[in-house]
Amino acid sequence: MVRLSSPQQLEGLRKSIVERKDRSKPCIALCVGTGCLAYGCTDILTAFKNEVEKNRLQDKVDIRATGCPGFCERGALLTIYPQGIFYQRVKMEDVPEIISETILKGNIIERLLYTDPNTGERYTKEADVPFYKRQQRLLLDSNNKIDPTSIEDYLAIGGYAAFAKALSHMKPEQIIQEIKRSGLRGRGGGGFPTGAKWESTREAHGDIKYVICNCDEGDPGAYMDRSLMEGNPHSVLEGMIIGAYAIGANLGYVYIRHEYPMAVENVTIAIKQAEELGLLGEDILGSGFGFKVKVSRGGGAFVCGESTALMASLEGKVGEPRAKYIHTSEKGLYNRPSDLNNVETWANIPHIILKGADWFNKIGTKGSKGTKIFSLVGKVKNTGLVEVPMGMTLREIVYDIGGGILGGNKFKAVQTGGPSGGFIPESLLDLPVDFDELTRVGSMMGSGAMIVTDENTCMVDMAKYFVGFLQEEACGKCLPCREGLKRMLEILTDITRGDGRKEDIELLERIAATLKDASLCALGGTAANPVMTTIRYFRDEYEAHINERRCPAGVCKELITYSIIDEKCPGCGLCVEPCPTKAITFVAKKKPVILNQKLCIKCGTCCDICKMKAVGVK
């Protein structure tokens, strides 16, 4: 490809790409995102290639490997263009039929369509599926329309047009004003206004400035950053280029956690392509503005997502936070002005520049504009990534999009904001979700993880889980966080073992207050949120553990026993062999098995195996 030397040439290239594309030509778009990898999509991709060759259709059908369109629960996912036919749960065996029936004859294969488990209705098109219908997919929509390793695909859907517009029609100050006016708040957790951050970095003194993309995504249960970086890396890069131009930065870093190899690979390819086209490097599009981007991998420490720790890690040092008396926008990486934004924040930028602040402003709530991607996971029927306008209620997200609770169980709480956030109970299901409302009820937006829990989740155990997580992940530099978390974990462990004392709840509350006031960084500062919300909304569960030595959800090992519910057990014997301690004895066919409590180590294997739900937990 030739190096472009003006925005006009970029438009020319785009036109020629679009003209070359035959829109009526069938295209099989298969998700090769990480979720679908677990469903064996690479083999399916190869099978499609072979089948197409076998039928000598190479020139008549395109096969496109795409990023994640969100509905990972239903993988492997497939969209057939131009009709937009949506197939789910696709397997190797289905490949020949899809070619012979749908591609060659235009017939729909009914069994591969999504069927609503609640109504039994079938849907042919992606957009009609209830999971997608209520979403507003500003950022995710392109994921299954492009091959993330093809800059041509990105250009064909209008990629880099926002940057060309910014470069040829807007001054850096104007760009910053536009972002400020849009009301965009950072998607990395705290919700800090993006425009203001850019402005202070622009105004900071220094010849060398940096922009950084935070793709550490340490929040367990969240994977929207991964999905964007893998599925549409150019959109993130375009945001960064616009930001660098507005701020006056010439070097950028993309910091990616090491658990995301495909994200590293795809963004590295994207950077190379953008360099070849002259969208990165010296004298971009003949404007005199130069900008380079480097990729750096994290080492798997949650605290490294924090801005100052991340920058320390980028300098090759131990990832410990420092006090932020001086903002990183003034003294960040190598003590130079640095602007750090989250992946999703960067991906929003091209849309705002292209369509304008007023357009963006109309989406969302008063204090939180635009859409937000949530990873809706846990005990919900339709799990995956959902992108909705800010302000949609929890109930709509969990029930209308998520399809309700798995296995007909009872809803208990939604956890948002990860280890910095909290649990939201059923009574607050009508809460409109935005930055401020979540904080108001004691939780947080965080990165957008939404973990749905049901009656089988123990809230004390969950509190212990998060404190344990944070205790392991904290850097240990400051005392309140180091000792406070350790003590909290001890108390919570005691409670889950049935050794809790009456005054423990109050003690937890006191430690929580200290952590909030005295921690150096936000990890310690918000660490008590999961504990405090579970105490606030599920105090009765704490009391059951402490006063009655009982775990109502049947989770805490020391307080439960497994037993066979004789009426439900037809003695199929499936659970006998796998029991590691031979605690289960086969009696005879059609007779319930016998479980020896003395031998049982409560590993739960029998419970996982039994399809008759004949293993009870109390």
Partner 1 sequence: MATKIQAIVDRYESDKGQLVSILQDIQTEYYYLPKESLEEVVKLLNVPMSQVYGVATFFKAFSLTPRGRHLIKVCLGTACYVRGANRVVDKMELDLGIKRKETTKDLRFTLETVNCVGCCALGPMVMIDDKYHGQMSSDKVSSLLAKYE
Ligand X SMILES: Cc1cc2nc3c(=O)[nH]c(=O)nc-3n(C[C@H](O)[C@H](O)[C@H](O)COP(=O)(O)O)c2cc1C
- Residue 231 as a binder of ligand FES (CB under 6 A): the answer is no
Q: Does 241 bind ligand FES (CB under 6 A)?
A: no
Taking residues 22 to 51 in sequence order and writing x for each that binds ligand FES by CB under 6 A, - otherwise, the string is ---------x-xxxx---------------
Given the rule CB under 6 A, which of 11-19, 90-98, 359-367, 517-525 is the region that contacts ligand SF4? Answer: 517-525
Peptide bond into 432 cis (omega under 30): no
Which residue's CB is nearer to ligand X, number 7 or number 186?
Answer: 186
Q: Which does 521 bind (CB under 5 to 8 A by kind): ligand FES, partner 1, ligand X, none?
A: ligand X
| One of 273, 345, 348, 471 touching ligand X (CB under 6 A) | 345
Please tell me the distance from the alpha carbon of residue 144 to that of residue 129, in angstroms, as a whole number.
Answer: 15
Is 129 a binding residue for ligand FES by CB under 6 A? The answer is no
Q: How far is the CB of 510 from partner 1 (least distance, A)?
A: 26
Buried b / exposed e over 200-216, threshold 16 CB at 10 Å, is: bbbebeeeebbbbbbbb
* Complex with ligand FES: residue 201 or 383, whichever CB lies closer: 383
Exposure letters 356-379 (e unless 16+ CB within 10 A, then b): ebeebeebbbeebbbbbbbbbbbb
Both structure tokens of 182: 């849009």
Would you say 261 and 226 are in contact if contact means Cβ atoms under 8 Å apart? no
Best CA proximity match to 296, nearest among 314, 271, 315, 317: 314
31 binds, among ligand SF4, ligand X, ligand FES, none (CB under 5 to 8 A by kind): ligand FES
Judged by CB under 6 A, which of 206, 220, 286, 367 binds ligand FES? 220
Q: Which residue sits closest to ligand FES, CB atoms considered?
A: 33
d(CA 538, CA 137): 35
**Counts of helices then strands in the chain (DSSP H, E):** 25, 19
Positions that interact with partner 1 (CB under 8 A): 34-35, 37-39, 72-73, 75, 217-223, 226-227, 258-261, 294, 296-302, 313-319, 375, 377-379, 383-384, 415, 418, 449, 451, 453, 457, 462, 465-466, 469, 473, 475, 578, 580, 603-605, 608-609
**φ and ψ of 543, to 5 deg:** -65, -35
**Angle CA 355–360–366, to nearest 5:** 165
For residue 428, give the nearest of 392, 390, 393 by alpha carbon: 393
Question: Cα-Cα-Cα-Cα dihedral of 575, 580, 586, 589, to 10°?
Answer: 20
Tell me if 304 sits within 8 A of 523, measured CB to CB.
no
Which CB atom, from 161 or from 579, has the smaller least distance to partner 1?
579
Q: CB-wise, 290 or 299, nearer to ligand X?
A: 299
Q: Which is nearer to ligand X, 190 or 281 (CB)?
A: 190
Report which secondary-structure segment, H or E, holds 236. Answer: helix 233-247
Residue 476 interface partner, choices ligand X, ligand FES, ligand SF4, none, CB cut-off 5-8 Å depending on type? ligand SF4
Residue 550, C-beta contacts closer than 8 angstroms, at least 6 positions apart: 544, 559
What would the x/- binding string for ligand X be over residues 176 to 205, using CB under 6 A?
Answer: ----------xxxxx-x-x-----------
Binding site for ligand X (CB under 6 A): 186-190, 192, 194, 214, 216-219, 302-303, 305-307, 340-342, 345, 447, 521-523
Binding site for ligand FES (CB under 6 A): 31, 33-36, 68-72, 75, 77, 220-221
Binding site for ligand SF4 (CB under 6 A): 303, 321, 474-478, 481-482, 519-521, 523-524, 562, 564, 569-575, 579-581, 583-584, 593, 595, 600-606, 609-610, 612, 614-615
